[in-house]
Amino acid sequence: MTGRVIGIDAGGTKLLAGVLDERLDVQHRSLRLWRGRDLAGVLDTMVEAVDEARSVAGDIEAVGFGIPALVSPDGVARFSTHLPLEGVHFRLLMEERLELPVFVDNDANLAALAEQRAGSASGLSDVVMLTLGTGIGGGLVLGGRLYRGSRGLGAELGHMVIEMDGPPCQGNCPGRGCLEVYASGPGLGRAGAHAAAASPTSALGRALASGQVITGEVVSEIALGGDPVAQEAVASVGRRLGVGLVTIANVFNPEAIVVGGGAARTGEMLLEPARAVVAARALPPVRDGLLIVHAAFDADAGMVGAGVLALSRGDC
């Protein structure tokens, strides 16, 4: 397929839409936020985002959607932790409403695809992606193609258990001690709140005392501003992330692990502690030469990957 497509990255709290050409240049983008939306509201917001992009771009050949759900090959959302999409025949419903070819996959799968095709892992065949946001998404490109599992439901790497008797996971996940509990945006917020309470004279502690809600975004901002207590909170989350990366490295032996998403905006402050854990705990032949890098597309990765999906007509 040539020409322009629309890529939609629908996360747990926001939706990013973009118009992309065959070179993956983003010609238009828009951001919408949502919380507590019901199914009708979520779908309406998606349609509105596509309609806006079409009004700016003109002729569009297809739309790619990345959604935070387990998506079967027929385009049905089988399970979603963060949006009310379970059981929705998403592809068919969107094609009826948009009157365009629609392709849909898990949002983190598409972020992995973007980074492997044109980002931090460009040209590599075996790549793992983690997106740290409201939850943690996982994507696998193995042998140069997306790996989706036997029924299209694989690569939910955020739900690997790193502590058997840990706290309950988020949303609809029935697990306990999942990586998502510790290294997502909310996990960073919890680590930061604990650190703020223990160090009330720090910048993070003063933010808590002023009544500010300590979210992952707040912790990242204060850490980037130089507060050592916030920086240590980020590092502690990085070490937890590293425990998960050890398992990923040992199981998949990838050439690169790419980390992106809003909760990874501190970059090396998060990744360096994670690399140290991998260096200490992963099997030596696996860790040697392994790249652990930040996403080149950053917050755009899922949207760009959705564009790749549309341009390739789902053949990824």
- What is the predicted pLDDT for the residue at 124? 97
Angle between helix 185-198 and 216-224 (nearest 10): 60
Q: Which CATH topology does 123-295 take?
A: Nucleotidyltransferase; domain 5 (3.30.420)
Judge whether 5-113+300-311 and 123-295 match in fold. Answer: yes
Distance (Å, whole) CA 75 – CA 92:
7
Q: Residue 44, SS3?
A: helix
Q: Residue 105, SS3?
A: strand
pLDDT along the chain (316 residues), means of 10: 85 90 91 83 93 90 94 92 90 96 94 95 96 92 93 89 95 93 97 98 98 97 98 98 98 97 94 98 96 92 94 91
DSSP state of 64: E
Other beta carbons within 10 angstroms of residue 72's beta carbon come to 18
Task: Name residues whose C-beta falls within 8 Å of residue 314's C-beta, 6 or more positions apart in sequence.
Answer: 103, 105
Distance (Å, whole) CA 16 – CA 9:
5
Distance (Å, whole) CA 261 – CA 304:
13
5-113+300-311 homologous superfamily:
ATPase, nucleotide binding domain (3.30.420.40)
Other beta carbons within 10 angstroms of residue 119's beta carbon come to 26
Ramachandran assignment for 24, one of left (phi > 0), alpha (psi -120 to 50 degrees), beta (any other): left
Domain residues of the chain, as ranges? 5-113+300-311, 123-295
Q: What pTM was estimated for this model as a whole?
A: 0.88
The residue to which tokens 């070490």 are assigned: 239
